[in-house]
Amino acid sequence: MRGGFTVTPNWLLYVTGGLAVTQVRDSATISNPPGATFVFSETSTLAGGTVGGGVETMFAPNWSARIEYLYAKFKDTDPPLASGPVVIAPAFSFNHDLNVVRFAINYKFGP
């Protein structure tokens, strides 16, 4: 979803937000003396939200260009707490938040 206002007839300032979906692959290898090693690897699909804003301009008939910033928030994931005879309490988690800057050139077909 996007909403904004025109600054001049050819310039639009806007805010945007909506659903964000990403696939992540987390992996870690933890060595815990004496000689115990824990290997973790997991792929999952996460859903979250995104917010941002940008500016768009009509620079020629039927042509526009825009630049925008988006922040996408996803849940953090943690490795499991145990592996075999060794109990591992991880002091970390995987953060999947994204900061994205996009540039686009658009052509409008028709009148």
Mean local confidence (pLDDT), 24-37:
78
Instruction: Tell me how many domains the chain contains.
Output: 1
> Predicted confidence band at 66 (pLDDT cuts at 50, 70, 90)?
very high
Which tokens sit at 33?
């003396």
Mean local confidence (pLDDT), 63-67:
97
| Strands 98-107 and 63-73, sheet pairing | antiparallel
Strands, sheet with 63-73, edge to edge from the N-terminal-most edge strand? 2-8, 11-32, 36-60, 63-73, 98-107
Which tokens sit at 44?
């999952």
Structural domain of 75: 2-107
pLDDT at res. 5? 95
pTM equals 0.78
Question: Is residue 16 scored above 80 in pLDDT?
Answer: yes
* Cross-strand bridge partners of residue 64: 58, 106
User: With left for phi above 0 and alpha for psi between -120 and 50, is residue 62 left, alpha or beta?
Assistant: left
Question: Is residue 89 scored above 70 in pLDDT?
Answer: no
pLDDT at res. 34? 66
